[in-house]
Amino acid sequence: MPFASSGDIKLYYEVIGQGDPLILIMGYGHHSQHWGDLPQQLAKNNYQVITMDNRGVGRSDRVDAPMSIAMMADDVCSVMDAAGLKKTSVFGVSMGGLIAQVFALNHPDRLFNLVLGCTFPGGTHTAPTDPEGMRILFDYEYLQKMTPEQRSMTVFRFFCSDEFIEANRASFEYYHRVTTEYPTPLSIFKRQAEAIASEDTWDRLPYIKAPTMIISGTDDRLVNFKNSELLAKRIPGAELTLLQDKRHGFFIEAMDSTRIFINGFMKRRSRR
């Protein structure tokens, strides 16, 4: 299994396909397997897709120590170095989108294109989350009272609609399996929450130079889609794509649309 070194931390990553490089950065408490089949679908569009486990989750080292969004953006560089990449495009969702913003700002020379999914700028400019969504994200005592399957289903219902789950039961079964196979420790949830609370990209967003697309579902109750509208106004030339009635896991529920929009954006930008 391939690992990259970032200081004393070992980071798990995988490389799929051949073509223009694209790194996928997952969100809060989740790891690379939570992308489902999207990496394989993107690879079919002639991308070299790199998935990675953020520090503390999945198969990366689970060190209970302070972490920051900038630190995790540096981790992306470590994975790039291990994979032999000088530059890449990046697609980050939720917390992974915040990491992607900081990567774009701190390492502009290593970035081609930037895709931000269901994410936010941090700080006081972040549009508020639904109260029940906040409970799912940060009320650890509430979540610990549930069985692993109850926890998975509760979170997954914020990712995908009940109609989608009913018609695609295998998607939930997969989500539950990979969530419980590499469970994220409570201590890491807290460390990542601290990192999110400490980051604010708002004032620096106008300095992002990479071509940027922002994509979100309009029924997202974990990260208000209005955050995507705010980001689109702050990042010069950013394209905004809103998926009607999709939730936080739009890349699961509308995987084919996600692939088409990302591929279209990347191809347009590669010709400029």
What number is the average pLDDT over the span 243-268? 96
What pLDDT shows up at residue 58? 97
User: Domains of the chain: which residue ranges?
Assistant: 3-270
**3-270 CATH pick, 1.10.10.10, 3.30.380.10, 3.40.50.1820, 3.40.720.10:** 3.40.50.1820
> pLDDT exceeding 90 applies to what percent of the chain?
95
Does the reported pTM lie above 0.85?
A: yes
pLDDT at 198 over 70: yes
Which H, E and C letters describe the chain, residue by residue? Answer: CCEEEECCEEEEEEEECCCEEEEEECCCCCCHHHHCCHHHHHHCCCEEEEEECCCCCCCCCCCCCCCCHHHHHHHHHHHHHHHCCCCEEEEEECHHHHHHHHHHHHCHHHEEEEEEECCCCEHHHCCCCCHHHHHHHHCHHHHHCCCHHHHHHHHHHHHCCHHHHHHCHHHHHHHHHHHHHCCCCHHHHHHHHHHHHCCECHHHHHHCCCCEEEEEECCCCCCCCHHHHHHHHHCCCCEEEEECCCCCCHHHHCHHHHHHHHHHHHHHHHCC
What pLDDT shows up at residue 272? 45
**Band of pLDDT at residue 268, cut at 50, 70 and 90:** confident
Strands 20-25, 9-16: pairing kind? unpaired
Residue-wise pLDDT tens digits, 29-85:
999 999 999 999 999 999 999 999 999 999 999 999 999 999 999 999 999 999 999
**Band of pLDDT at residue 269, cut at 50, 70 and 90:** confident
pLDDT at 171 over 70: yes
